Every structure is written in structure tokens, then in C-alpha cells.
A and B are shown apart, each in its own frame.
Chain A
Amino acid sequence: MEPVHIDAKGLHYTPLNQQIRRAVSEGATEIIVDNVLGQRFIADGLKGEVTIRINGVPGGDLGMFMNGPTCIVKGNCDHAPGNTMDSGKIVIHGSAGDAVAHSMRGGKVFVRDDIGYRGGIHMKEYGEDHKPILVIGDNACSFLGEYMAGGIIIVLGKSDNTFGGRGVGSGIHGGEIILRGELKERQLGVGAKITEFTEEDLEKISPYIEEFCGSFEIDPEKYLDTKYTKIVASSSRPFAGKYVWE
């Protein structure tokens, strides 16, 4: 089937999403949406094997509750792309705002450049196939992985700027945050700790790095070593006894 073209110029997100859903229900496997500017909730709750190419700057909550599709954005994203996403993939050729991959429960979000504050907040994993992956090509800000309960966040730091944020993994009780380079103890949030990044860890994340680099035509070679810091929960129940005494 030929790709379906949609011109989003001046279009509110409701008719835009209706057009996308209609195309998917008619069997489209590729949808190209041009002139996107600020429309929120694109592809929200959408199911199916479809690739949506979004040209422009979408509004917040791109791909929220999405289950299956791939969204490729040529431009920056606003807040929370991949919010509570179930499965599928979001590839952002640019940067994204705060709370990227908010409460994400499966699938992948790849951001070529930077993300704002609270990336991966409340990310969670369960079962065999719900393990969300967030990869950031350059840098992230404070409170990365806040209240994180599962999944993996990888920050590649391509411009070699060191991570300057604070509160990394604040309230984390599951999952892993993997930052390229060093991290100081004082940059950790409450309940988070630094552990050694091992060869086994590298083996585990290599496929994600390769897939990420493939999406943006970057050579993965320079990222395939152990120069990372791994941040995990300080114990399996870091907040036991905080609100009740056992």
C-alpha cells in the first residue's frame, strides 16, 4: 500500500488523530504527517503495525498509551513523548521536553539529542515483554529516572558534556539508569546508588545502543565499552519504614 499523506497545517489534534486512525483501519502501513505544529496526543492509544512519520514539532504526550506503532519525528518534541506507552517505538530526530517516557511500560523511545527534566519518571516493567527502553543521544537533566520502577535509561552524552544534574534516580525502586561517564555521589537522589558497570551490563545494553545508532546513522563503536556509570535502587525496598513502622 502507498504511504498515506496527511497535511496537519492548522489542524486540531482531534481531526488529525481521526485521519490517522482511519488510515490505520484501512490498512495503511506508512503514514506521513507534514506541517505538524503543536498538536498534542498524536497516535495516542493507537494499535497496529504502522510507521507514522511526523514532520514538524508535535505537542505533548506523543504516543501516549500507544501499542505497537512506530513514530519517527523529524523535529523536537514537547513534554512526555511515550507517556504510559505499552509497546512500539518513538524515534525523535531532535530534542524533547520534560518527563520523556513518563510512566512508560514497554517499547522504546530514542531521542537523538537532549531531553528535559525528569526523563523516565515512573518507568516500570513487568512480565517478559514489558521492559521499556529510553535512550538519549546527548544529555539529560536533573531527576532522571525519578520514582523509576523498571526498564532501562541510557544516556550516551555524544557531545562529551558531563551530566550536571542532581537527584538522579530520586525514589527509584527498580530498573537501571546508565550514564556515560562519571557521576558524583552528591548528584544521586534519595534511594539511589552507583554500582559498577560490568562487561555483562555492556552485553545487555549493546543491542539497544546498536539499534539507537542505526536509527540515526551514527557509528556505535565509540559507545561499546564500559565507560558508564550504573545507577540502581539502593535496596529492594528503599522506602520501607518511611511512612509506617514495621
Chain B
Amino acid sequence: MCGIIGVIDRQKQKMNGSGIKEALSLMNERGSGEGAGYAAYGIYPDFEDCYALHIFFDNLVEPKSKVDDIIQKWGRVVHQEEIPTKEQPNLKRSHVPWRYFFKPYTDLMTGSLTPDEDIVKYLVMEINSSTIEGALVFSSGKNMGVFKAAGWPEDVANFYKIDEYEGYIWLAHNRYPTNTPGWWGGAHPFNLLNWSVVHNGEITSYGTNQRYVESNGYQCTMYTDTEVVAYLFDLLGRHHELPSEIIVKAMAPPFWDEIDEMNDKERELNKAIRLTYGPALMNGPFAIVVATHDGIVGFTDRIKLRPLVVGEHGSRLYISSEEAAIRTMDPQVEDIHMPGAGEPVIGRVVT
């Protein structure tokens, strides 16, 4: 189990975090109090050109000085501070959440068409793969941020004062860890650069997917399956520049017998995707919502073993595990429906 909800305002009108907190808390039954988190886009307008690096430090002595060292070699820290938090009686503070607003020196990365993003990706992988003990980067996009911890949705939201952030996209997740322990880094959303992922279910093809992303320069370090989805989206979406529809087709493709029934053009396309991106195919039960700066996409596994409900109201698109959660955020929501297995639901910013 696990509860997920995502919302986009396609005209980029901002919402504070109070609505999504309430919606996620409604799905408390889907969690176990061992992980909850939020991602919000558009929250750092004063630093919109900087990568906001959110880092869990075990303490602010050795781990932080090592992180300071490495990131200042690769770029300039425009501003840094402890992420404001408020103690909650039911939430144990296991780490110090910190944020840097960071601008990479783009001339340091050779042979890359997107040197700034590749520097940030390199730093995230370097810090997280245990070279620096006691530091974990959990958010690294521009003008966006992830806030997560081990706790119930409401406690985590109040801990990070989620109500005070204003974003045009929000994702939220309530965790019921089943295969690996609950810990701060294992809470969702998982993020790399601008990609954030919330996920209900488990990815039984994890080994194949992990080998595929690790052979492309990513390192899985969070002891849970979902992070691989963030890296797959970065690889297929950013590096290979595939649109979301095609990424979803690669991850949750039609069955071969369905492909056989398609017209020539569709069949060729679907065959090509399956053959090229076989190692990106994900098996097992899942419902996923992924966000990036210009939109969100929700989809389920191809035999629909997890729930996903969609609702629309004006410029807002909601994707969630439960209709009641959407109605909590927006009682006036219209057009409630359930997408088919593997069918992408896409909300894009229109500007």
C-alpha cells in the first residue's frame, strides 16, 4: 500500500501546501507513519536560476565541511541555510535538513551538452554513494524542493511548515514500507534534478532497471526501488529527450499480442520502443506520478495492480490513489475518472 497525490495548476497559479497536506492525511490508512513527503515546484522564485540542493546531514561538522568542499570546487554557493523546521512531538529528528542554492561552473564539465545538469547529477551521485558519510542529497532541481521524513503526513508537513510554501505543482506521498525499512532517505518523493517521483507499489523488475541506469552513470543508494524511476526519467526524458508519452510506453508497454493487433505505423513504433528500451520496462504492481517543471504524468503498471484516479477542475489536474483525497483538496472537482492500465495521464503547463 502507500498513498499518492499530485496536482498541477496548468496556468501556474500557486497553491500553498495546506490542501495537499489535508488530502494526504485523509489517506493515513495507506501509510504506517514511517515515511511521508512533499515536492513543490515554483517555491524558490528568489533563487530560480540556482539548483536547490536539499541535503540531510547527520551533523553539521564533518559531513557538511566535506560537502562544502566538493560543491565549491564545482560551482558557486549563492546562499545556504538550514531548512526551517518546527519540532513535532511524534517526529524524531534523525537528520539536519539543509539547503544550498548552487550555480555550477559549466566550463568544468567537458563533453556534455548539458554541463550544468551533469555537474549537479555528478555531485548527487558522488555525495550519495557513501563517499561522504552522513550526507544525503534528496532534492536537486531548480526552483523546486522535496521535503520528507519518517513520520505521518501531517507531522512531516508541519515539521517542514509546508503551508508556507507556494507552488504550481505539488506531489505528496504517504509510505507503508514493505520490503525495506522506513527511514528519511527512503521516504518519497524521490528526486534528481527537476524530476520527482511518488510511487505506490513495488517494482519487481528492479534488478534489470537498476543495471540499466547504473550502466548509464547513475547509482542506486536509497535501499528502495522507487529511486530507479527518477533516474529512468532523467535518462529517457533529459538525455534521450523522449516525451512523457513515450517514456511511459517504454516503462509500461502494451503486451505483444496487443501490439500485433495495431495498425502498421503504431505497431512499428511500439515494437521499436520495446526493443530499444526493454531494460526500462517495469514489472510488478505500481501507480506512479512523476513531476518536472513543465508538467506531471501519472500511470500504472500494465495489468493495473494499483489504483489511480484523475480529476480536473479548471486549470487544475489531480492524480491520486483515492477520489476522496482529490475531493478533500477540491470539493468542486469535476470529471473524475480512472485511467486504464499503462495509460499516461499528462498535465502540462500552458503559458
User: A143 to B336, alpha carbons, bound, how many Å?
Assistant: 22
Q: Is the CB of A186 within 8 A of B257?
A: yes
Instruction: Tell me if B322 is interfacial: C-beta within 8 Å of chain A.
Output: yes
Smallest distance from the beta carbon of A9 to chain B beta carbons, Å? 11
Q: Is the CB of B303 within 8 A of A59?
A: no
Instruction: Tell me if B324 is interfacial: C-beta within 8 Å of chain A.
Output: yes
**Given contacts A37-B26, A97-B338, A186-B257, are A116 and B304 in contact (CB under 8 A)?**
yes
| From B29, B255, B327, contact of A57 by CB (8 A) | B327
Binary B-proximity of A177-209 (CB < 8 A = 1, otherwise 0):
000000000100000000000000000000000
Q: Is the CB of B304 within 8 A of A78?
A: no
Smallest distance from the beta carbon of B223 to chain A beta carbons, Å? 29
Instruction: Tell me if A141 is interfacial: C-beta within 8 Å of chain B.
Output: yes
**Given contacts A37-B26, A116-B338, are A79 and B328 in contact (CB under 8 A)?**
no
Q: Is the CB of A78 within 8 A of B324?
A: yes
Binary A-proximity of B323-349 (CB < 8 A = 1, otherwise 0):
111011000000010101100000000
User: A22 to B322, alpha carbons, bound, how many Å?
Assistant: 29
CB nearest neighbor in B for A99? B307
Instruction: Tell me if A65 is interfacial: C-beta within 8 Å of chain B.
Output: no
**Chain A residues, Cβ within 8 Å of B255:** 166
CB nearest neighbor in B for A40? B29
Q: Is the CB of A117 within 8 A of B27?
A: no
**Given contacts A37-B26, A76-B336, A142-B341, are A116 and B323 in contact (CB under 8 A)?**
no
In residues 67-104 of chain A, which contact B (Cβ within 8 Å)? Answer: 76, 78-79, 95, 97-98
Smallest distance from the beta carbon of A58 to chain B beta carbons, Å? 8
Q: Is the CB of B27 within 8 A of A141?
A: no
User: A114 to B307, alpha carbons, bound, how many Å?
Assistant: 15
Smallest distance from the beta carbon of B166 to chain A beta carbons, Å? 26
**Chain B residues, Cβ within 8 Å of A76:** 323, 336
Q: Is the CB of B26 within 8 A of A38?
A: yes
Binary B-proximity of A144-177 (CB < 8 A = 1, otherwise 0):
0000000000000000000000110000000000
**Chain A residues, Cβ within 8 Å of B341:** 117, 141-142
Residue count of chain B within 8 Å CB distance of chain A: 21
User: A34 to B188, alpha carbons, bound, how many Å?
Assistant: 34
Q: Is the CB of B307 within 8 A of A38?
A: no
The count of A-to-B residue pairs whose CB atoms sit within 8 angstroms is: 52
User: A79 to B29, alpha carbons, bound, how many Å?
Assistant: 13
In residues 1-36 of chain B, which contact A (Cβ within 8 Å)? Answer: 26-27, 29
Size bin of chain A's contact surface? 20 to 34
User: A166 to B309, alpha carbons, bound, how many Å?
Assistant: 20
**Chain B residues, Cβ within 8 Å of A98:** 304, 307
User: A97 to B306, alpha carbons, bound, how many Å?
Assistant: 10
**Chain B residues, Cβ within 8 Å of A167:** 303
In residues 267-304 of chain B, which contact A (Cβ within 8 Å)? Answer: 303-304
Q: Is the CB of A59 within 8 A of B307?
A: no
**Chain B residues, Cβ within 8 Å of A57:** 323-324, 327
User: A118 to B305, alpha carbons, bound, how many Å?
Assistant: 9
Smallest distance from the beta carbon of A85 to chain B beta carbons, Å? 20
**Chain A residues, Cβ within 8 Å of B324:** 37-38, 57-59, 78
| From A38, A117, A141, A186, contact of B325 by CB (8 A) | A38
Q: Is the CB of A59 within 8 A of B304?
A: no
**Chain A residues, Cβ within 8 Å of B29:** 40, 59
In residues 26-40 of chain A, which contact B (Cβ within 8 Å)? Answer: 37-38, 40
**Chain A residues, Cβ within 8 Å of B257:** 186
**Chain B residues, Cβ within 8 Å of A118:** 304
| From A38, A58, A186, contact of B328 by CB (8 A) | A38
CB nearest neighbor in A for B309? A97
Ordered nearest first, which 6 A-B pairs have the shortest CB separation? A38-B324, A117-B304, A37-B324, A38-B26, A57-B324, A57-B323
> Chain A interface (Cβ within 8 Å of chain B)?
37-38, 40, 57-59, 76, 78-79, 95, 97-98, 114, 116-118, 141-143, 166-167, 186
**What are 11 A-B interface contacts by the 8 Å CB criterion?**
A37-B327, A38-B322, A38-B325, A57-B324, A76-B323, A76-B336, A97-B307, A117-B303, A141-B341, A167-B303, A186-B257
16 new A-B pairs (CB below 8 Å) besides A40-B29, A78-B322, A186-B261? A37-B324, A37-B327, A38-B27, A38-B322, A59-B29, A78-B323, A95-B338, A97-B309, A97-B338, A98-B304, A98-B307, A117-B303, A117-B341, A143-B303, A166-B258, A167-B303
